[in-house]
Amino acid sequence: MAYAVTDTRPIFEGRAFKVRVDSVRAPDGKVRPIEVVEHPGAVTLVPVADDASLYLVRQYRHPSGKALLEVPAGTLGSGEDPAECARRECREEIGMAPGTLERLGGFFLAPGYSSEYSHIYLATGLTPAPLPADEDEDLRVERLTLAQVDAQIRSGEIQDGKTLAALYLYRLARGL
């Protein structure tokens, strides 16, 4: 599948992402415009306490129009190592430092239009070590058992894609 970019036009540059339009030549020779959201990447965490409960955060997400229950996550800084970002985000979002980080996998958020790739980590051996939250975040930390998380998924309370993907990979890694 040989695709070639013949032209790129920047459209928008914001704080969190950029948007461009690429002209892409497909194998059939046709050139099509493709809109791309450029994102530096992210980390997604599954923080698990010693008693096997999970830390989630509830925060208002304006595009959805409501507060969502999610696993902690955050955007990579320029040149930032994903594991270091995961450690920082864990401290910022739930106030806990992970003793151990285990990479569970990763995923593209929406590869049809976005370059965002999220690295998923299991965080264990948690100890209190809060960092100030990001200025634009209003988070409420919730600690739930896996059975409670499952009930929240079944009821439709948990609707965030990264949370569903991270919990799935967590279950696979632990045979749960």
Cβ proximity of 149 and 158 under 8 Å: yes
What is the pLDDT at residue 134? Answer: 77
- In angstroms, the CA 59 to CA 61 distance is 6
pLDDT of residue 133: 78
The total of other beta-carbon atoms located within 10 Å of residue 158's CB is 20
Together in a domain, 8 and 55 = no
For residue 110, the model assigns a pLDDT of 95
Which domain does 110 fall in, by range? 42-174
Return the CATH number at 77: 3.90.79.10
Question: Do 56 and 94 fall into the same domain?
Answer: yes
Do 126 and 170 lie in one domain? The reply is yes
pLDDT at 31 over 80: yes
Domain count, the chain: 2
Confidence of residue 135 (pLDDT cuts 50, 70, 90): confident
Band of the pLDDT at 75, cuts 50, 70, 90?
very high
Kindly give, in sequence order, each residue whose CB lies less than 8 Å from that of residue 87, ignoring residues fewer than 6 positions away: 97, 98, 101
Do 127 and 151 share a domain, yes or no? Answer: yes
**Domain check: are 33 and 46 in the same one?**
no
Asked if 94 and 163 sit in the same domain, the reply is yes
pLDDT higher than threshold 80 for residue 130: yes
Can you give the pLDDT at residue 107? 97
Q: Are residues 20 and 105 in the same domain?
A: no
Same domain for 148 and 66? yes
* Residues 78 and 133 placed together within one structural domain of the fold: yes
Q: Which residues are catalytic?
A: 135
